[in-house]
Chains A and B, each alone.
Chain A
C-alpha cells in the first residue's frame, strides 16, 4: 500500500481523532479558544482522511483491509458516540463528513452480519444522542440523516420504537423550524411504516399511548403538521399489516367525529385527506353501534354535504366512485332498534 506509507495507519488516525474530539468536548469555549481551534482543525482533517479510506479517492480505491481495521478501531474507541456527542463543535464540512462516515460504516456487511448495526445495538446511546439532535438547530439535519439510516435496520428501529424517547417525535415534528420539523416527520414516518410487522406489533401493543399523542398532531395549530399527520394516519390504517389497528380505530366514535370535523376544515387539502379516512368508517360492513348512531343522527346532513363535496374533482374517477358509494351507504342506513334495557 504505497499510498498509505507516509500517512497514518487506521489505529493512529482513530487515536488522534479521539484525542481531538475529547479535547473539543471538554474544553471551555471561552478560555481555551486557541486549543479548541487547533483540535477542531485536527478533527476536520482526520475526518477527511477517514472518509477517503472508506470511499476511496480518484487515484486510490478503498481497500477492504484498511476499512476493516478502521471500523474495528472506531468500535473499540467508541468513536461513533463521541462523534455524535461533539457534532455541534465540528465545522460545517466536518459535520457532513461525519454523516458520510457514519452511514458508510452502518452499511458494512460481512457475510450475513452487519457489524456496525450489531455494535449500535449494544451501544444504543448513539441512537438516543442522534434523536436528541433534533433539539439543536445546528446539528438537527445531520443527526436526522444518520438516524434515518439507522432506522432502515429493523433491530435499530425496534430500539427507538420501544423506548420512551420515541414520544419525543411528537414534539419534534411540530418544531418551529420548518426543515427540522419535516425531517423529524420523515424519520417518524419511516419508523412507523418501514418494517411492517415490527410497526404493526408496536402500534398494537401501544395503541392507546400512540394514538393519544397522535390526536395532538391531528389537532395541531400547524397546518403542515395537521395535514401530514392526517395523510400518514390514512396510510397506516389502510395498510393491511395494521388490520387490527384499523378495526380498533374505526370503532371509536370520537375518531369518527374528528374526521367529520376534518371534512369541514378550511383547507381543501385537509378536507380531502380527511375524506380518505372518513370513508373507512362508512364503508365498514360491521359498523359498531356508536358509529352507526352518529351516522344516523347526521344522515341527511351528511348526504347533503357529501353531494356538494369537492364537486370540481370531476377528473378523479375513483374519488367520485367512492363518494357515490359513501352517499349510497349513508342513504341506505336502517334506523337502529332501540337499545335493550335490562
Chain B
C-alpha cells in the first residue's frame, strides 16, 4: 500500500497468493536457483499491487495528497458505501511541529460539532496505537482551490467562477462565525472542492473559539499564513477583532481568485509585514469597478471599516449574475495528472478483495504474467487457479 515499490513487493510476500510462489521457489530450488536474483525487478512489476486494505470499516484507495502531517488517501466506507478521504497523521511527525498535537486535538473537537455544507465534515476518528497513527475520515474532495489556481491560465479563475466560490466561502465563514469560531487562516490553500463544485473550508488547526458569553470577538494570537494577514496583525497589535481578520483574508483570497496575484508581497516575512502595515496596494485596472470597490472595502486598513458578511452580500458585484462566457477552470486531474474525472481509486482494491483478477494494468497485464510463467513454471494447482482467474477476467471484460 505504500508508494514505494519495494514496499509493495515486500507486503505482497505476506499474502496467500505469493506464498504459493514461495513454495514454488522451494520446489524448483534445484532446477534453477539464479532466477531469484535476475527476477527481482520482475517481481516488483507483478501486477498484484492493489492489495485491499481494510481499516475499521474503511477500504483504502490511492493517495490523494501529502501534507506536513502525513498522507491523505481516498477510502470507501463499507457500511454506508460513501466515498471518503482519510487524513493519516503520524504522531511522530506531529510532535515535531510546534503545537502539532494540541492543534489537531482541538481541530477534531471543533470539527465534530460542525455541520455545514461549506465546511469540511469530519465523520470518524480512528487510532492505531501500534503504528502511532491517527486517521481522520472526512468528506471526499477532488482538490484544493490553490491547486486549481496553480494550473489555471494566469493563475486566476474566470469572474463567474470566482464569484461562485467566494459566495460559498462567505456561507461557510458565516456559519463558522455563528458557531463562535474565528478561522484565522482563510486562503485558497485551505479551500477544497468537492465533486459537485461545492467549496469546503478546511484546516481549523489555528482557529480560535470565542467565549460564547462574551459579545466581543477580541483575539490575541494569530498563526495564519503571512500573505493573508491584516495590518493589525502585521503591526503586532495586542488585541484585534477576530472576525475582521477572516474578512480581510477573504478579501486577499478574492483578490487572488480574480487577479492571480496578491495585494501584498515581500521577499521575506518582515518585508511582507512591512508592506501590509503600509496599507499600500494596487488593484489592477482591468478589474470591473464594482469588484474593485468590493475589494477596497474588504481590504480596509481599519478593521472597524471592513464590512460584515451581510454587508458584503449586499454589494452589487455579489448580487450580480456573472455571465459564464469563459470556460471553467477544472480541478487538477488525479493520479499524477492521468485521471481528469477522478474515478474512484478504491475499485481496483475492492476487486482484489473479492478475488476478481484485477485489470488495472490493461493488456500489458498478460504480458507480465507470461513472463512470470517463463521464469517460474507454476505448480499444477497454481496453474489451475490462474486459469480460473483468467476465465473470470475474460467474462468480466465481455460484460
Q: Do A and B share a complex?
A: yes
- Chain A residues close to B by CB (< 8 Å): 109-112, 196-197, 238-241, 243, 246-247, 280, 283-286, 317-318
Q: How many residues of B contact A (CB 8 A)?
A: 17
Beyond A196-B310, A284-B213, A317-B109, whether A112 also contacts B320 by CB under 8 A is yes
Which residues does chain B contribute within 8 Å of A197, judged by CB atoms? 310
Which residues does chain A contribute within 8 Å of B310, judged by CB atoms? 196-197
Report the minimal beta-carbon distance from B56 to chain A, rounded to whole angstroms: 13
Question: A112, A239, A247, A280: which has the most chain B beta carbons within 10 Å?
Answer: A112
Which residues does chain B contribute within 8 Å of A110, judged by CB atoms? 321
Contact A112 B179 (CB under 8 A): no
**Which partner residue on chain B sits nearest A109 by CB separation?**
B321
Which residues does chain A contribute within 8 Å of B215, judged by CB atoms? 243
Chain B, 174-198, contact with A by CB distance < 8 Å: what is the 0/1 string? 1001111000000000000000000
Contact A318 B179 (CB under 8 A): no
**Which partner residue on chain A sits nearest B109 by CB separation?**
A318
Contact B178 A239 (CB under 8 A): yes
Contact B213 A238 (CB under 8 A): no
Which residues does chain A contribute within 8 Å of B179, judged by CB atoms? 238-240
**Which partner residue on chain A sits nearest B217 by CB separation?**
A240
Q: B193-231: which have CB < 8 Å to A? A: 210, 212-213, 215
**Which partner residue on chain A sits nearest B180 by CB separation?**
A240
Complex Cα distance, B93 from A201, in Å, reads 48
**Which partner residue on chain B sits nearest A193 by CB separation?**
B178
Q: Count of A-B contacts with CB under 8 A?
A: 36
Say whether B316 faces chain A, with CB atoms less than 8 Å apart.
Answer: yes
**Which partner residue on chain B sits nearest A110 by CB separation?**
B321
Contact A111 B178 (CB under 8 A): no
Report the minimal beta-carbon distance from A290 to chain B, rounded to whole angstroms: 17
Which residues does chain B contribute within 8 Å of A280, judged by CB atoms? 212
Complex Cα distance, B109 from A148, in Å, reads 32
Contact A196 B178 (CB under 8 A): yes
Question: A110, A240, A283, A318: which has the most chain B beta carbons within 10 Å?
Answer: A240
Which residues does chain A contribute within 8 Å of B37, judged by CB atoms? none
Which residues does chain B contribute within 8 Å of A285, judged by CB atoms? 213
Complex Cα distance, B210 from A243, in Å, reads 12
- Jot down 14 A-B pairs with beta carbons below 8 A, ordered by A: A109-B321, A110-B321, A112-B321, A196-B174, A196-B178, A196-B310, A238-B179, A239-B178, A240-B178, A240-B179, A241-B178, A280-B212, A318-B109, A318-B113
**Which partner residue on chain A sits nearest B321 by CB separation?**
A109
Which residues does chain A contribute within 8 Å of B321, judged by CB atoms? 109-112
Which residues does chain B contribute within 8 Å of A284, judged by CB atoms? 213
Complex Cα distance, B316 from A112, in Å, reads 6
Say whether B341 faces chain A, with CB atoms less than 8 Å apart.
Answer: no
Chain B, 138-181, contact with A by CB distance < 8 Å: what is the 0/1 string? 00000000000000000000000000000000000010011110
- Chain B residues close to A by CB (< 8 Å): 109, 112-113, 174, 177-180, 210, 212-213, 215, 310, 316, 319-321
Question: Main SS of chain A's interface residues?
Answer: helix
Which residues does chain A contribute within 8 Å of B320, judged by CB atoms? 111-112
Complex partner residue of A238 from B109, B212, B319, CB under 8 angstroms:
B212
**Which partner residue on chain B sits nearest A237 by CB separation?**
B212
**Which partner residue on chain A sits nearest B211 by CB separation?**
A285
**Which partner residue on chain A sits nearest B320 by CB separation?**
A112
Which residues does chain B contribute within 8 Å of A286, judged by CB atoms? 213
Report the minimal beta-carbon distance from B214 to chain A, rounded to whole angstroms: 9
Which residues does chain B contribute within 8 Å of A247, judged by CB atoms? 213
Complex Cα distance, B321 from A197, in Å, reads 23
Complex Cα distance, B214 from A246, in Å, reads 11
**Which partner residue on chain B sits nearest A107 by CB separation?**
B321
Which residues does chain B contribute within 8 Å of A240, judged by CB atoms? 177-180, 210, 212
Complex Cα distance, B320 from A196, in Å, reads 21
Complex Cα distance, B210 from A241, in Å, reads 13
Report the minimal beta-carbon distance from A108 to chain B, rounded to whole angstroms: 10
Report the minimal beta-carbon distance from B106 to chain A, rounded to whole angstroms: 11
Which residues does chain A contribute within 8 Å of B109, judged by CB atoms? 317-318
The 3 closest A-B pairs by CB, nearest first: A112-B319, A109-B321, A239-B178
Which residues does chain B contribute within 8 Å of A318, judged by CB atoms? 109, 112-113
Report the minimal beta-carbon distance from B107 to chain A, rounded to whole angstroms: 12
Complex Cα distance, B243 from A240, in Å, reads 12
Complex Cα distance, B144 from A128, in Å, reads 43
**Which partner residue on chain B sits nearest A242 by CB separation?**
B178
**Which partner residue on chain B sits nearest A285 by CB separation?**
B213
Which residues does chain A contribute within 8 Å of B174, judged by CB atoms? 196
Known: A110-B321, A284-B213. 17 other contacts (CB 8 A): A109-B321, A111-B320, A111-B321, A112-B316, A112-B319, A112-B321, A196-B174, A196-B310, A238-B179, A238-B212, A240-B178, A240-B210, A283-B213, A286-B213, A318-B109, A318-B112, A318-B113
**Which partner residue on chain A sits nearest B318 by CB separation?**
A112
Complex Cα distance, B244 from A174, in Å, reads 42
Complex Cα distance, B170 from A196, in Å, reads 13
Complex Cα distance, B215 from A231, in Å, reads 23
Complex Cα distance, B167 from A109, in Å, reads 16
Report the minimal beta-carbon distance from A295 to chain B, rounded to whole angstroms: 16
Which residues does chain A contribute within 8 Å of B316, judged by CB atoms? 112
Question: A110, A196, A246, A247: which has the most chain B beta carbons within 10 Å?
Answer: A196
Complex Cα distance, B180 from A275, in Å, reads 20
Complex Cα distance, B320 from A197, in Å, reads 21
Complex Cα distance, B320 from A23, in Å, reads 40
Report the minimal beta-carbon distance from A2 to chain B, rounded to whole angstroms: 26
Report the minimal beta-carbon distance from A284 to chain B, rounded to whole angstroms: 6
Report the minimal beta-carbon distance from A244 to chain B, rounded to whole angstroms: 9
**Which partner residue on chain A sits nearest B212 by CB separation?**
A238
Which residues does chain B contribute within 8 Å of A109, judged by CB atoms? 321
Which residues does chain A contribute within 8 Å of B177, judged by CB atoms? 240
Report the minimal beta-carbon distance from B148 to chain A, rounded to whole angstroms: 25
Complex Cα distance, B265 from A104, in Å, reads 45
Report the minimal beta-carbon distance from A202 to chain B, rounded to whole angstroms: 14
Which residues does chain B contribute within 8 Å of A196, judged by CB atoms? 174, 178, 310
Which residues does chain A contribute within 8 Å of B212, judged by CB atoms? 238, 240, 246, 280
Report the minimal beta-carbon distance from A68 to chain B, rounded to whole angstroms: 14
Complex Cα distance, B212 from A238, in Å, reads 8
Complex Cα distance, B112 from A109, in Å, reads 37
Complex Cα distance, B321 from A282, in Å, reads 47
Report the minimal beta-carbon distance from B101 to chain A, rounded to whole angstroms: 14
